[in-house]
Amino acid sequence: MAPRCSWMWRLPRCPLLGRNLSTTRRLGAGRSLSSKSPTPQICVVGSGPAGFYTAQHLLKHHSEAIVDIYEKLPVPFGLVRFGVAPDHPEVKNVINTFTQTARSERCNFLGNVTVGRDVTVEELQRAYHAIVLSYGAEDKKELGIPGEKLPGVYSARDFVGWYNGLPDNRYLSPDLSSETAVILGQGNVALDIARMLLSPLELLEKTDVAQPALEALSQSRVKKVWLVGRRGPLQVAFTIKELREMINLPGTRPIYDPSDFQGLGDILKDLPRPRKRLTELLVKSALEEPGEKEAVRRAQCTREWGLRFFRSPIAVLPSEDGKRASGVRLSVTRLEGSGESAVSVPTGETEDMPCGLIFSSIGYRSVPISPGVPFLPRQGIIPNSMGRVLGAPAGLYCSGWVKRGPTGVITTTMTDSFDTAQSLLEDLKSGALNLSNSRPGASAIRELLLLRGVDPVSFSDWEKIDAVETAQGLKVGKPREKILNTEEMLQLVSR
């Protein structure tokens, strides 16, 4: 390889010699030399939906900006790849749009780069005019109760990562030998887990579920799944689409306590439309007698799932030998207030629920990325106003879950990310962002990474990985067979 030249923070003095021969042209290195206004150099940290939607909006609405996307894994797309359930391929179609963004002449993907370890935020600030932090919520919330570390207790985040092929979770090896599983939480992720545990194997075999997970699920003895929530039917966090899928899951029937739904029909008219439709479906499923065809179907089912309301976990119960979980102790709760703002309070009663498999699905959590970036640990977000980071110099922004918390669906993230990108564009137009000096962008960061022994993965490198995964999947009738080891990914792109 030809020697790389040194760089200064002001101007890129030499062509970039990297793996992708078109990179020099894509970076626009030199356009700023002949222009009165230097080319805006922008970087986005995180290649999930928030990162790609932010980049998409910036590239669409600014004809000169260069946008570089940094990702700690060698592969892009974040939760679209590692969070969306394997049996929801239609949700993953957004990858096609993200791919078009990444192939733009003014966009660069730099995978296998961990911001905060391989390169600091402060170094990025010296190389770019603006930085958008879109690194999501990569940690999990703890239950904070006795026994939660016992074998048989798993976080929803780890389990989802395991069946979706996230390299960090490939060794999870959950014990699925219990007939009853309890999921603590009543959101979409909780329903995803329940559906994965109860789905007929022939449905999962056609998805991109990780092969070790498929093999383990084929041996699973789980026949009943309870989803436990501390509040009531009017506060469940899942969506109507997910609920309808669960109600109609082949080979599985729902079980309800009709008393949980008494009187809800009287208040339906006063509910906001999305909550009204969801509650109508819950009430209909719980209180109305199923039709003859559905009744026959349910009678033939060998698996079941149910919703348990007004219960909050206070301890995981150990087995007699103390070596694993054998159940969960629940505090019976009641509500104070109404609607979305209702708060659960303990009544003093408790209830034990026997089970050998427990999932904590109480949410994800963002973590600080740098001591120099303001962070609110209690809320788990970066303080911001319309995406502009508060308490930080101009030029620092955030989008996605690290901006608003781990809530909403992909379309929520799209709107949120467009808002952040628009704030950045407004600051470019108003002069709030200083463009008086050129910034070297990715060329400077690549030099730093080279000195530190870090070899970034380009988007064309990812496409090599994608081609191998797709070819391997085709052999077994799956959309792809995910590579679970980052070292194997890097070996593919170094050939």
Residues 188 and 225 placed together within one structural domain of the fold: yes
Residue 367: per-residue pLDDT:
94
β-bridge pairing 153-155 and 357-360 = parallel
Final residue of a domain: which of 364, 399, 426? 364
Domain membership flag for residue 3: no
410 is catalytic: yes
User: Is the pLDDT reported for residue 45 higher than 50?
Assistant: yes
Catalytic residue among 145, 247, 314, 410: 410
Residue 85 domain-assigned? yes
Q: Is the per-residue pLDDT at 327 higher than 50?
A: yes
- Tell me the CATH number at 80: 3.40.50.720
Does 11 map to a domain?
no
Does residue 36 register a pLDDT over 90? no
Look at residue 152 and tell me whether its pLDDT is greater than 80.
yes
Same domain, 479 and 458: yes
| One domain for residues 133 and 155 | no
Q: What is the pLDDT of residue 340?
A: 84
Q: Using one digit for the tens of pLDDT, what is the confidence trace for 169-226?
A: 999 999 999 999 999 999 999 999 999 999 999 999 999 999 999 999 999 999 999 9
pLDDT at residue 32 greater than cutoff 50: no
CB of 305 closer than 8 Å to CB of 194:
yes
Is 13 contained in some domain?
no
Provide the pLDDT for residue 247: 96
pLDDT 10s digits, 333-376: 999 988 888 999 999 999 999 999 999 999 888 999 999 999 99
Known catalytic residue at 192:
yes
Same-domain check for residues 287 and 395: no
More confident residue, 17 or 261: 261
- The single residue of 61, 88, 120, 180 carrying the catalytic annotation is 88
For residues 420 and 441, membership in a common domain is answered with yes
* Shared-domain flag, residues 128 and 146: no
In a domain, 329, yes or no: yes
Assess whether 99 and 241 both reside in one domain: no
Choose, from 68, 87, 192, 208, the residue flagged as catalytic.
192
- Residues 77 and 183 placed together within one structural domain of the fold: no
Is 1 a member of any domain?
no
Mean pLDDT of 57-62: 98
Check residue 139 and give its pLDDT. 86
Q: How many alpha carbons lie under 13 Å from residue 302 in its C-beta half-sphere?
A: 6
| Number of separate domains in the chain | 2
Residue that finishes a domain, picked among 303, 334, 364: 364
244 within domain boundaries? yes
- The reply to whether 157 and 282 lie within a common domain is yes
CATH code of the domain containing 340:
3.50.50.60
Mean pLDDT of 79-96: 96
Q: pLDDT, tens digit, for every residue of 408-418?
A: 889 999 999 99
Same domain, 247 and 393: no
Name the more confident of 37 and 258: 258
In a domain, 17, yes or no: no
321 catalytic, yes or no? no
| Domain around 41 | 23-138+366-494
Domain match, 377 and 474 both: yes
Identify the domain boundary among 364, 380, 402: 364
Is pLDDT above 80 for 282? yes
Is 129 labeled as catalytic in the residue annotation?
A: no
Task: Say whether both 270 and 347 belong to one domain.
Answer: yes
